[in-house]
Amino acid sequence: MPGSRLLVVTAVAAERDAVLAGLAGKPPEPGPRHEPPQPVGSVESVVAGVGPAAAAAATADALARARAEGRPFHLVLCAGIAGGFAERAPLGSVVVASRIVAADLGAGTAEGFVDVTELGFGTVAHEPPADLAAEVAGAAGALLAPVLTVSTVTGTAGRAADLAARHPGAGAEAMEGFGVAEAAVRAGVPVLEVRAVSNTVGPRDRAAWRIPEALRALSHACAAAARPLFAAARAGGGRRAPRHDRPAPGAPS
């Protein structure tokens, strides 16, 4: 559909497959692995790799190429699995970001962590369109809450408590959202983040990760939210994000 284009950014191919199957209305049922989904015409996907730097680079590249080719994107969806803050986001639940927050971008000091905004170097949070995020969360039966972006997966109770204290109400942590949002905001394209919880934020227990269940939950959430997502892509996310061709205010020159 011309004029309605959605860019999906995931870290790995399994997340992409889950999202595209959901958007195509074919979320997988439990059981043997399904075929990769057929592409939906107005959706393109990028498998960016893990972490905010890879996510920002891949998103910026996809947005710039599409714009140069005269087929710009109207909405960016960052999606994947995540760690959930247990009291709000249990295993298998889904979180839609009300804010996308860079949680470890800053400096350690004798008084504790100071983020880059407090240091005077720009922003540590991006805001998805509030109405759209709420509508997608409602359609998907998801928690609407801040999603933290970290470069290191939390592996201790101490760090989990520290993050929860600094970000009261946070629903989940993952590793790509802020990078995707940096690229999208600079290109003037609205951005959403949707995460399904594969593990709890806390002491590292790799055996307790429930990745297949989270991927299924992600797929079902995307199926349930497909209508508002496509409507938003047609409308450009409801509102344009501010565009930064120059460094963002407060960024070092």
Ligand X SMILES: O=C(O)c1cccc(C(=O)CC[C@H]2O[C@@H](n3cnc4c(=O)[nH]cnc43)[C@H](O)[C@@H]2O)c1
- Give the footprint of ligand X on this chain (CB under 6 A): 11, 50, 80-83, 150, 153-154, 173-176, 198-199, 201, 206
The C-alpha atoms of residue 217 and residue 198 are separated, in whole angstroms, by: 10
70: tokens are: 């005269």
Say which residues have a Cβ less than 8 Å from residue 68's Cβ, sequence separation at least 6: none
CB of 199 to ligand X, least distance (A): 5
Question: Helix, strand or coil for residue 113?
Answer: strand
Instruction: Compare residues 4 and 98 and give the one whose CB is closer to ligand X.
Output: 98
**Closest distance of CB 70 from ligand X, Å:** 32
Least distance to ligand X, CB of residue 84, Å:
8
Which residue's CB is nearer to ligand X, number 174 or number 185? 174
Q: Which is nearer to ligand X, 4 or 103 (CB)?
A: 103
The 3-state DSSP composition of the chain as helix, strand, coil percent (nearest 5) reads 35, 25, 40
Nearer to ligand X by C-beta: 21 or 48? 48
Q: Which is nearer to ligand X, 43 or 170 (CB)?
A: 170
Q: Please give the structure tokens belonging to residue 211.
A: 């990745």
Q: Provide the minimum distance between the beta carbon of 20 and ligand X in the complex, in angstroms, as a whole number.
A: 17
Nearest distance in Å: CB 175, ligand X = 4
- Residue with tokens 């059981």, as numbered in its chain: 31
Helix, strand, or coil (residue 191):
strand
d(CA 137, CA 62): 26
If phi > 0 it is left, if psi is from -120 to 50 it is alpha, else beta; for residue 243 that is: beta
